[in-house]
C-alpha cells in the first residue's frame, strides 16, 4: 500500500507540473528558450521508465550490486522531484535584468579570478558546449553496452533519474535564488538585447558543467563497481574528470560563466555523480575493506581501496 501511495503521489506531482507548464503564459524569454526543455523531457521519460520497470526491481537478486527497492529510493526520488519542481517554478517567476542594473555592472567589482570571463563571448564555444551537453546526457545509456551492467538496467535507470532530478533541481534553485548576472552582461561589446533576457542573470552555478560532471562521475563509478581492471578504472576516471573540465572551458570562453561558477558546478555535479551509486550499493556484497593479520609480535592492518 505504501508503494502504491508513493507512486500515486509522484505521478500526480508530475501531472501537476505538466499542467502548470502547459497553462502558464510565457514571455518571449521563457523556460523553453533557456535550453531547459531537453532536460524536462528526459526527466519525465526516465521517471516513466522507472515506474514501468519498478516491478522488475522488486524481485531483484541478492547478488545485484545496487539496491533500489527500498524506502531510500523513494526518499531520494521524492527529494529530487521536490527540488526539480521548486526550481522550475522559480525559473518561471524569474524576471530579466533591468536597464539600470545592467548599466551599473562593473567587472572591477568582481573577484580578481573572475575578471577574465567578463571579456569573453564566443558563440562557437557556446554552440559546442550545447552539443556536448546533449552528449553527456547519453553517457548512462552507454553503460548498457556492458552485459553485466545491462542485467541491472532498471537500477541504473532509477539512479540516473535520481541524479538528474537532484542535480538539475539544485542548480535551478541556486541560479534563481542567487540571480548572478552572467559574464557577458558585463561585456560592453555584447548586444544590449542579449543582456535583458532572463537567461542573463542565471550565472551561478554552471548547469552544463554540473551535468557533465554528474553524469561522467556517475558512469565512471558504476564501471568501477563492475570491473576489477585497473586500466579500465584509470581510463574511465580520467575521462570522467576531463569532460566537465572541457565543458567548463567552453562555458568560460562563451562568456556564460565565471571561473567560480564552473568550479562549484564541477564540485556539486561530481559529488552527486559519485555518491548516488555508492548510496545504493548492496551492503550484503560488501567485502571486508580492513584486513588484520599477525606480523611478528604485533598485527598488520591493511585498508583495501576499491
Cell 560592453: give the residue.
Answer: 188
- Report the distance separating Cα 252 and Cα 115, nearest Å: 11
| Residue ranges in the chain modelled with pLDDT below 50 | 1-2, 4-35, 37-38, 41, 48, 52, 55, 288-293, 299, 303-306
Q: Where are the alpha helices (DSSP H) in the chain?
A: 2-23, 37-58, 71-93, 99-104, 123-137, 139-142, 147-150, 153-178, 192-195, 207-226, 230-253, 259-279
pLDDT of residue 245: 96
How far from each other are the two terminal CA atoms of the chain, in whole angstroms?
38
Sequence length of the chain is 306
> How many domains does one find in the chain?
1
pLDDT of residue 77: 85
pLDDT of residue 11: 45
- Report the distance separating Cα 153 and Cα 147, nearest Å: 10
Task: Pick the closest to residue 140 from 50, 217, 233 (CA basis).
Answer: 217
Angle subtended at Cα 271 by Cα 225 and Cα 167, rounded to the nearest 5 degrees: 110
- Report the distance separating Cα 156 and Cα 18, nearest Å: 25
Cell 559519485: give the residue.
Answer: 274
pLDDT of residue 84: 87
pLDDT of residue 228: 87
Which residues are CB-contacts of 71 (< 8 A; sequence separation ≥ 6)?
none
pLDDT of residue 146: 87
Domain that holds residue 6: 2-303
Residues 153-211 have pLDDT tens digits of 888 888 988 998 899 999 999 999 999 999 999 998 888 888 888 889 999 999 999 99
pLDDT of residue 58: 52
Amino acid at each position: 500500500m505504501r508503494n502504491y501511495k508513493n507512486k500515486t503521489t509522484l505521478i500526480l506531482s508530475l501531472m501537476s507540473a505538466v499542467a502548470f507548464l502547459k497553462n502558464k503564459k510565457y514571455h518571449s524569454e521563457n523556460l523553453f528558450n533557456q535550453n531547459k526543455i531537453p532536460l524536462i523531457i528526459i526527466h519525465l521519460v526516465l521517471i516513466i521508465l522507472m515506474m514501468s520497470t519498478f516491478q522488475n526491481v522488486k524481485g531483484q537478486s541478492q547478488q545485484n550490486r545496487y539496491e533500489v527497492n527500498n524506502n531510500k529510493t523513494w526518499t531520494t526520488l521524492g527529494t529530487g522531484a521536490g527540488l526539480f519542481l521548486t526550481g522550475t517554478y522559480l525559473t518561471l517567476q524569474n524576471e530579466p535584468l533591468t536597464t539600470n542594473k545592467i548599466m551599473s555592472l562593473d567587472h572591477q567589482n568582481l573577484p580578481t579570478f573572475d575578471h577574465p570571463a567578463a571579456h569573453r563571448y564566443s558563440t562557437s564555444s557556446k554552440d559546442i558546449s550545447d552539443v556536448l551537453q546533449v552528449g553527456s546526457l547519453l553517457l548512462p545509456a552507454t553503460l548498457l553496452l556492458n552485459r553485466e551492467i545491462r542485467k541491472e538496467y532498471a537500477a541504473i535507470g532509477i539512479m540516473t533519474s535520481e541524479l538528474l532530478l537532484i542535480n538539475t533541481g539544485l542548480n535551478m534553485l541556486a541560479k534563481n535564488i542567487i540571480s548572478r548576472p552572467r559574464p557577458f552582461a558585463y561585456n560592453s561589446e555584447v548586444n544590449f538585447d542579449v543582456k535583458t533576457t532572463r537567461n542573463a542573470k542565471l550565472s551561478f552555478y554552471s548547469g552544463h558543467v554540473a551535468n557533465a560532471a554528474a553524469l561522467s562521475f556517475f558512469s565512471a563509478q558504476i564501471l568501477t563497481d563492475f570491473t576489477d581492471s585497473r586500466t579500465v578504472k584509470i581510463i574511465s576516471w580520467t575521462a570522467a574528470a576531463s569532460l566537465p573540465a572541457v565543458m567548463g572551458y567552453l562555458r568560460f570562453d562563451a562568456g556564460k560563466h565565471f571561473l567560480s561558477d564552473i568550479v562549484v558546478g564541477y564540485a556539486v555535479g561530481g559529488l552527486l555523480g559519485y555518491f548516488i551509486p555508492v548510496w545504493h550499493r548492496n551492503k550484503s556484497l560488501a567485502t571486508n575493506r580492513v584486513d588484520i593479520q599477525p606480523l611478528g609480535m604485533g598485527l598488520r592492518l591493511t585498508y583495501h581501496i576499491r
